Amino acid sequence: MTALAVASFLLAPQAQAQVPASPGAWASFDWFEYSGRDPHDAAGRPGQGEYANPVLQGFYPDPSVTRVGDEFYLVNSTFAWFPGIPVWHSRDLVHWTQIGNAIDRSSQLDFKKLGLSRGVFAPAISHKDGVFYILNTCVDCGGNFVITARDPAGPWSDPVWLPDLEGGIDPSLFFDADGRTWIVNNGPPEGTPLYQGHRAIWIQEFDLAKLRTIGPRQMLVNGGVDIATKPIWIEGPHIFRKDGWYYLSCAEGGTAEGHSQVILRSKSVTGPYVPGPRNPILTQRDLPRDRAMPITSAGHAQLVTTPAGDWWATFLAVRPYEGDHYNTGRETFLMPVEWVDGWPVITRPGQAIPYFADRKGLPAAPTPAVPASGPFTVRDEFDGAALPPYWMMMRNPQGNWFRLERGALVLDVRPVGLADFGNPSFLARRQQHMMASAETEVRLHPRKDGDSAGIAVLQNDEYWYYLAVTARGGGLQVSVLSRTGGKQPPGLALGAPRTLAIPAGEPVRLRIDSDGESYRFAYLDDHGQRNKPNWIGLGSLDARPLSTKSAGGFVGAVFGVFARSGE
């Protein structure tokens, strides 16, 4: 694995004084190092002319991709994490560099106290005449909207709301050859739904100059490719045109193991649309559940062409370590698209999504400075003007509670906990591997007993583990706290706190390791052994409570630094 020193940029501290900091209480983090690998890495690395899946590891779901000339741009869902909607750039669809976040100002959207799996769902990016568009739905925080930018790195505009799409999600734009623009989205069917998960796909014309819907709305698909089978959650629609046909590509089957992608086509943009003969065109639900190193829950695809005219698809899928348990979230994968008798095919029946696959003519591109796939180590030294764009917080920032100062990340110790559905002093990056480690060095400057700082692995407000250094009786203690369910209050997880032999303000190294099925916790406070550390283990906890299967929702686990005031 290659260690990288990462320049800091793009997530600058924001002053929004709504919650006061605890006077005089703060914690500094000298650095943060993330390292990871996966079981399939043992099989080797991509050979000459191959690429590796997933192309974006960790919690990067619902990919939407567009091409502008020789450049590709991609966005993902982030729900109630802030900043939201990462924007990526690539020249080969394989190597991606994050260039910004489309939602990076609290004036754009307010996630309030929403659960972490609410907020921004399934963005769709497109481009026309020098303008980039992202359509999105802020679930429980405003509805459907469009934002625009001349530069995909930002800044992006404030939202323009689309009230005609009320009750729907997953809007996207289609630019027709005649100059007209159309918007398609998932919405409720006409009349009363016939069953749970009964949805429809709708189309309406869109005024690109005024950024508003115009004319009547029309239903294109009722339920799915075959309403008689009661298909669920037809969603994520995209229209594209090829050889005189309008193709409508949609996800179907929900976001779990039954997920899939289906295709329909028509001679008119407004239909009628006829399902293809080989649906679904992408799924893994027809493979044995007990296969080795499975990739499951594949769907939510978008097709794109290369400058050479080849067709590819980005889509989401997951990599469980046991059953349907996975902590890395829904990730971004890539596969070539084959055309058979006028219809696209991504996977054939029984075909497994490959970890290593033929690049099939994709151009060569340099490895990104910050890798997003494969085994790697990334170390943040906190010596820049702002944090890298992959760092996030829970919901909109409430107050100016973090800063970069003298080569360290400083957090104010505030009375907001990880379980409070608020905006705690917690900054995090994604867990991107099954076998992962997160390590940091913290210096706690408390004001009173109970003030704490440390490192946490978190799935959402109700499911997390926290390795804490806590002020107690004039000294410091280290312990592991947890919450693993909405009815369970946070509490000690691995025995009584242990007293440290150093005073407050001195550095303590903390480490969380994952082997896929468990998390292990350790600390180090021996100044004389920095070059040859003797880690003191506190024990391990089951990883499954922090899996999406157990915790619910649509996000993945993150590692981060945290500070909180005491009783």
State the catalytic residues: 62, 235
Q: Which three-class secondary structure string do you get for 19-78?
A: CCCCCCCEEEEEEEEEEEECHHHHHCCCCCCEEECCCECCCCCCCEEEEECCEEEEECCC
Cβ atoms of 413 and 25 closer than 8 Å: yes
What span, in angstroms and rounded, lies between the C-alpha atoms of 260 and 296?
Answer: 10
Tell me the β-bridge partners of 437: 35, 513
- Beta strands 3-6 and 376-380, pairing class: parallel
- Number of helices (H), then strands (E), belonging to the chain: the values are 1, 42
CA distance 316 to 415: 37
Which runs of E-coded beta strand occur in 284-348?
296-305, 311-318, 331-336, 338-340, 343-345
DSSP output for 359-399: -TTPPP-PPPSS--SSSEEEEE---SSSB-TT-BEESS--S
CA distances to 141, 364, 476, 499, 563 from 503, rounded to whole Å, are 45, 53, 7, 10, 17
Dist CA 406 CA 408 (whole Å): 6
Residue 219 near residue 227, CB atoms below 8 Å: no
